[in-house]
Amino acid sequence: MSAPETQCPRCGTTVEPLQEYCVDCGLRIRGAGVVPSLATGWQRRLRWYPGDWVWPSLLALVVAVLSAAGAIVWTRDANSAARTTVVGDTAPLPTVATTAPVPTTGPSATVPTQTTQTSTTPRRQPPKRALIEWPQRKGGWTLVLASLPTSAGKPAATAKAREALRAGLPQVGVLESSKYASLHPGYYVVFSGVYPSITKAQDAVSKAASSGYENAYARRVTS
């Protein structure tokens, strides 16, 4: 018996059981990212799946093994260095103090002193990252980080965009969906990146998820 179909929570369009995005409004129906992809691959090969907790456990095990191996190598090198014996004459060499003659020109001679002047150059502060505007008359793909109704006001969308900048996401900006035919009107869209193809945009999804934006998804923007 096949799995029942579901409906998009935004527009009500019928979606397939394994469909990730709604083809009508572009809403993400099911999550994406590294852990869901690994879980899907596991379930395709094995019927039994313990749960998402298995991936952090495996990662912790690998880190523990690598740490133990590094500690063993470091201990072995330290013991080897401690057993090294220096052979030969290790007595200190005698030191001979030499005094340079001081030139005199009279009864009381003065020794010239040399002063060194140091100058400090102030360091330039790195420029602050700023929000960008979507390139005019240019279509492309981007990552949608958040969509806020226009009733919420553009300052709220700008604040979310600045949070994405602080999280390290590239080319962050805010666009008004009503100005673009491929987007549903009535929203301020917080986006990241301007990509020439969906492949490039999908490659950036995992990076956005690792920065705390698990719900980011690729979307085409056309005038």
Residue 8: Cβ within 10 Å count: 19
With a CB cutoff of 8 Å and minimum separation 6, the contacts of 210 are 34
With a CB cutoff of 8 Å and minimum separation 6, the contacts of 26 are 144, 217, 219
Whole-number Å distance between alpha carbons of 189 and 183: 9
What the chain holds in terms of domains, given with CATH numbers, is: 140-221 (3.30.70)
Whole-number Å distance between alpha carbons of 143 and 139: 13
Residue 95: Cβ within 10 Å count: 5
Give the pLDDT band of residue 85 (cuts 50, 70, 90). very low
Q: What is the pLDDT of residue 66?
A: 94
Q: What is the mean pLDDT of residues 172-189?
A: 91
pLDDT per residue as tens digits for the range 128-141: 679 998 887 677 89
pLDDT per residue as tens digits for the range 197-216: 999 988 898 889 988 899 99
Element (H, E) at 194: strand 187-195
Q: What is the mean pLDDT of residues 157-167?
A: 93
- pTM of the predicted model over 0.75: no
Residue 56: strand, helix, or coil: helix
Q: When comparing pLDDT for 21 and 175, which is higher?
A: 175
